[in-house]
Structure 1
Amino acid sequence: MCSAFLWTGAPETAKDAKVSWASVCTPKKYGGLGLRRVEVWNRILCLRLIWLLFTKGGSLWVAWVKSNLLADKSFWDLKTTSKGSWSWKKLLKLRSEARTFSRCRLGNGSSCNFWLDSWLPQGPLIAELGESGPRQYLLLIIHLLYDSSLLPFSTSRAWDLLHCFSSTDIAPWHKSVWFTGSVPKHAFISWLAVKKRLPTRDRLLSWGLNTPPDCLLCGSEIETTHHIFFGCDFSNEIWTSLLVSCPLSDCLASSLQEVLIWANRCSNDPTIRLMVKLLLQAAIYLIWRERNTRLHDTQSKPADIILKDILTTTRMRLSSFRGSNMDMNAHDSLLTIWFRHFECS
């Protein structure tokens, strides 16, 4: 049901797909929805099994593998044969990837292979010197053991390393979309809006659908995401009223992304920032809902009623935080702060 909301139609075409699967599986911090690909997650769990081979001596599975499959041989140097199960052969195929996450701690010298295990920052010594290294440098193949085990394995760290995200990939607006206390459906619609993946009429036309191009809210221009939220007379009336009634007067943003970035730094008070984020998400959601209502039910509400709905929705959300850890001010309740700054009249 959830997937049907994002994807419809044939699997081999992008028609009617709101968001790409790659984007959905990208962490929220980097502009995605934060779902995890099963394929990648399975690889990470397999890497953890490899890690267990070197760390969990008391495990029955580890003991069986060492006795029947390794037989005093190095896991890194073991040749792939017909021996072993399908899952074991998969582990062997992941050895090159596993080296990225395996580092040894040098200790008393009993079971870490000098040439094949990763005890140097650069990786296995044999990878640096080549297969002829032991003979060329006249070094004995000795064993060194890490004091206790490999360094701790972190599935979340492995997930980040496999995706290779950098600080420049961070979506600057993500903290204004995904935050503690947000309304899930408001956050989701805001995410689709900032990604420009709402099914506006310009997108429907690009999919080849026969639909009028005019905006359903004002009827004067082609309906795009930017127009609905910033170029439409209807939404502009709502934003103007919000600027008058709320502490948003210093917001000079001209796009949805800029507004969300501003919301995360609009005040030094985290309570005010929370209220502004909730207010903006409620506005995005209710403007989009009004657009859909006019499309499907041929009913409409004036802008002043939508404005009241936005304020009421935000106020009701804040009232649900009473007595919880979201009540961040010990002296004033969230609603007291709300009426002081957002609904003064």
Structure 2
Amino acid sequence: MLDSGLLEGKFSAHPLCITPRLTHLAFADDLLVFSDGSQHSLLGISGILQTFHSFSGLDMNPSKSELFFGGYGDSEAAVIADLIGIRIGVFPSRYLGLPLNPTKLSLATLQPFIQKITKQLNSWTTKFLSYAGKIRLIVSVVYGKVNFWSQVFVLPKGFYKKIDNLCSAFLWKNTTSSARGARVAWKDICKTKEEGGLGIRSLEEFATVFRLKQVWHLFTRRGSLWVMWLDHNIFGRRNYWLMDSTPRLSWNIRKMLEVKSVFQRLIKCQMRDGMKASFWFDYWTSLGPLIELFGQLGPRELRISRNASVWEATHEGQWHFPNARSHQAEQLQICLSSVAPPSPLRGADWYQWKQPTGTFSETFSSKGTWMQIRQISPHVAWHKAVWFKESVPRFSFIHWMASHERLTTRDRLLQWGMNVHGSCVLCDSGLDSHDHLFFKCEFSRSLWISLAGRSSPNPPLSLPLASMWVLGVHSSPPHYASKILKLLLQTAVYMIWKERNRRVFSADATSLSATKILVDRTMRNRLISFSPEESVTTISLLGFYFGCISTPL
């Protein structure tokens, strides 16, 4: 009815909604109607809605409706609003639970969202959660909500920093007030597990992924209303590659243009009819984007405009170039000698996205894109000893902290200027430090040797060496010994740290023999949770462990 009303002249279209013709957007019982905002148009729209009410029974609720004007003075807008009987709305306005705003979202606008996340984190501080449990909640709940917003809006960097501070404070301090004194910096936590982090994806880096995905949709979803609108109203005269970021463009469009250099090295065009592929900027030959090969003077040398499509480089179905006057031009002509010229018979051009393996696919992978654009750090040698399928999450976390030497041992407290007794509470000799606890201490050394001695009479007596050692043990069935030893190592590390804390904070002590029994029981409970291999001839991990108790691995 609204489309018909526009064609019949009952109201006039918004200047930016003429092509493609856009009169309204509807979702469930929410309706957005666009017009030029004149009195004639608003009265015409009201009449159409009244006609709709007469045969459907559905009516507009003026108290729940709002008018938004652009380019009108306050007094003029007020007169029109009074005439229609609908109040004037103020940005930001909420639609489908999200704030609509014609300008960049500020930190003040996002304050209700920040307060909602803070309230969620505070509700978890009353529960007894392990570090591993907190990480799971942060990733699945908090980061899930933020990433949903990041897909829709360009959020300020200050917002991401605030969320990271809240999550860091919750993880290390079980509060949301301050992350001061965090044991591991959040930027290090956001590294991959192979690089010594916890595998949490940086919010700011992933925001770039969402901008790249928007540009990918601009190139591949030609039937989308959003893409059609952008093609006509934003990139009508100058395509994405040639468009410069200017203040007249919206904040979201400017952010899409900012990722142009990253986008160019990740997208590849499969040229067919050559109508859509950019001659200079798309990666459509084995030489890559030709503008990078020829430089900014390339269009003058080949007499092909910067805005040209590949089809414009042909004449009567054949490639058409001036005589080669440079090495780059010779390279291009040699390359194109094996490339069929564009033809409508071959269908439309289509695009592919680069995967972490270096291959190209028609599917955009958010995770794969993040892996290619993120800041890469060196791998740590011990990550496979900490993170593996059979591990216990809370054991892995303590092992991870011990590998980083970030447990609150007494030597660290002394370095911070705290007045504490520095000796080890397990053996009462030696400084309470990571190096001493794992495994120079008489208590921890005896425990570790009694457990790992089944595999070797002289197991390594330092955590870094022990982590590397458990990765190199082989057996039949394949890798069973390594799996058992990895689990045994992190169980021992966890139990040693737990016993150390028990003696520090409760003055209670568990004997070495009792600790050995506890480790053995923990191992059995964990291994019994795994089902045997599919082959009936293969023993289970638990069965293999039983066989190792009395015999070498």
Residues 172 and 48 of structure 1, relative CA distance in 2, 3 Å threshold: same
Tell me how far apart the structure 1 counterparts of residues 352 and 310 of structure 2 sit (CA, whole Å).
12
- Correspondence for 1:247: 455
| Residue 473 of structure 2: aligned partner | 266
Q: Secondary structure at the match of 1:150?
A: strand
Structure 2 length normalisation: TM-score? Answer: 0.56
Change (3 A) 1:237 1:128: same
Q: 1:287 to 1:122 in 2, by over 3 A?
A: farther
* More off after superposition, 135-144 vs 274-283: 135-144
Give the match's secondary structure for 1:193: helix
The residue matched to 2:282 in structure 1 has which SS?
coil
Residue matched to 1:85: 250
Q: Structure 2: how far apart are the matches of 1:341 and 1:126?
A: 65
By percentage of residues, which structure has more strand?
2
CA distance in 1, matches of 2:180, 2:174: 7
Task: Say whether the 8 Å CA contact 1:218–1:233 is kept in structure 2.
Answer: yes
**Displacement after TM superposition at 1:116 (Å):** 2.6
Letter of the structure 1 residue corresponding to residue 391 of structure 2: S
**What whole-Å deviation, never above 9, does each CA across 1:88-127 have from its counterpart, x for those lacking one?**
2211122122222122222221111112333356653223
Q: Report 1:1-345 matches (<5 A).
A: 1=125, 2=134, 3-4=168-169, 6-8=171-173, 16-120=181-285, 123-139=288-304, 142-144=308-310, 147-151=349-353, 152=361, 153-163=364-374, 165=376, 169-244=378-453, 246-249=454-457, 251=459, 253-268=460-475, 269-321=478-530, 324=531, 327=533, 330-331=536-537, 332-342=539-549
Provide Cα deviations, 1:142-176, integer angstroms capped at 9, x if missing partner: 4128842233333223222223537xx22222111
Post-superposition offset of 1:76:
1.2
TM-score (norm 1): 0.88
1:313 Cα deviation after fit: 0.2
Q: Once the 2 structures are TM-superposed, how far is the Cα of residue 72 of structure 1 from its aligned partner? A: 4.9
Amino acid at match of 2:210: L
Contact 1:271–1:328 (Cα < 8 Å) also in 2: no
Secondary structure of 2:265's match? helix
Identity of aligned residues (%): 35
Root-mean-square deviation (CA, aligned residues, Å) is 2.8
Q: Give the letter for the 1:249 counterpart.
A: P
Which amino acid in 1 is paired with 2:350?
S
Q: Is the 8 A contact 2:169 2:179 kept in 1?
A: no
SS at match of 2:310: coil
CA distance in structure 2 between the partners assigned to 1:109 and 1:174 by the alignment: 48
Structure 1 residues 330 and 9: CA distance shift in structure 2, 3 A: closer
Instruction: Tell me the CA shift for residue 29 of structure 1.
Output: 1.4
Structure 1 Cα separation of the partners of residues 415 and 519 of structure 2: 31
Give me the whole-angstrom Cα distance separating, in 1, the residues matched to 2:449 and 2:175. 43
CA deviation string 1:268-324 (max 9, x = no partner) = 422222221111111000000000101111101111111111111011101111xx3
Q: Which amino acid aligns with 1:87?
A: N
| Cα displacement (A) at 1:210 | 2.3
Provide the C-alpha distance between the structure 2 equivalents of 1:254 and 1:241, rounded to a whole number of angstroms: 12
1:220, 1:76 → 2: CA distance?
A: 68
In structure 2, C-alpha distance between the alignment counterparts of 1:83 and 1:272, rounded to whole Å? 64
Structure 2 unaligned residues grouped into runs of 5+: 1-124, 126-133, 135-167, 312-347, 354-360
Write the distance in 2 (CA, Å) between the matches of 1:243 and 1:116: 60
What SS is found at the alignment partner of 2:487?
A: helix
Quickly say closer, same or farther: Cα 1:122–1:254, change in 2 above 3 A. Answer: farther
Which has the larger Rg?
A: 2
CA 1:34 to 1:143, structure 2 compared with 1: closer, same or farther past 3 Å? same
Do the aligned partners of residues 4 and 14 (structure 1) sit closer, same or farther apart at CA in structure 2, a change above 3 Å counting?
closer
Distance between the aligned counterparts of 1:42 and 1:26, measured in 2? 16
Gap runs ≥5 in structure 1? none
Hey, what's the Cα distance between the residues in 2 that align with 1:124 and 1:10?
51
Q: 1:297 to 1:124 in 2, by over 3 A?
A: same
Secondary structure, in 3 states, of the residue corresponding to 1:111?
coil
Question: 1:208-255 deviations in whole A, cap 9, x for unaligned?
Answer: 3222211121121111111001111111111221144x324363x242
| 1:342 match: secondary structure | helix
Report which stretch shifted further, 218-227 or 286-295: 218-227
Q: 2: distance between equivalents of 1:15 and 1:201? A: 19
8 Å Cα contact 2:403-2:463 kept in structure 1 = yes
